[in-house]
Copies of this chain bind each other. A is one copy, B any other.
Amino acid sequence: MRADAARNRERILVAARDLVAERGPGVPLDEVARHAGVGVATLYRRYPDRTALLEAVVLHCLQLTTQAARRARAEADDPWQALTRYLREALELRVSAVIPAVLGVVDLGGGELERARTDSAEAVEALVDEAHAAGCLAEDVTFADIGTMLVRIARPLLGPLTEETKHALARRHLELFLRALTPEGGAAGSALPEPALTRHDLHDLTEEER
């Protein structure tokens, strides 16, 4: 592949990730192309239709999260450090905002995508489980709580703020959220209402709704 082609591929993927995170899976492809600084034809040449593009985006994202989770687990000093490091990295990757957006539109059944999704979820769940086991994560906080709160924090705010402001706020809010995850936080607060979803609950629910 020629160098400029590779560069454009990357740019398209990034632009699509950001725009899908912000505006949902229905963003006009013209706009993705413009935002990526390439012509529409370039986009359509590489990804024949919207589904192909979305699949590529979500696969890319899932691989990055898996990597980040495994690296955090391997390199951090303790389970709490590992978990928080992963969450910070995942926020930068904007990964969490994209996946659920696409989940309702593309069918990741059976193939490479399904596997990538499981890998990613398992890698993250390992972080959560170890933090639980080490007693540095409030007991009643589940995998799904952390995952979906990350989704909420990663999703760009609506309204007329600059991208930088939005992102800076997201980082701040992640730090704020981390305070809620400590065992002390759990002790201070009242009981959490249902549903306390596990990874499998979440998976099953999304399947049913399809």
Contact = CB atoms under 8 A, between A and B. Distances in A.
A167 B171 CA distance: 24
A77 interface: no
Q: How large is the interface on A (under 10, 10 to 19, 20 to 34, 35 or more residues)?
A: 35 or more
Interface stretch (A36-44, A62-70, A119-127, A179-187): A179-187
A210 B205 CA distance: 40
B158 A100 contact: yes
Contacts of A100: 157-159
A141 B149 CA distance: 18
A168 interface: yes
Given A148-B169, A189-B179, A190-B175, A206 B104 contact: no
Contacts of A209: 160-162
Interface stretch (A11-19, A47-55, A110-118, A191-199): A191-199
Interface string A134-177: 00001001001100110111010111111001001101110111
Contacts of A46: none
Contact of A189 (B141, B157, B175, B192): B175
B160 A104 contact: yes
A209 B157 CA distance: 14
B148 A173 contact: yes
A182 to B, nearest CB: 5
A89 to B, nearest CB: 15
A93 interface: no
A101 interface: yes
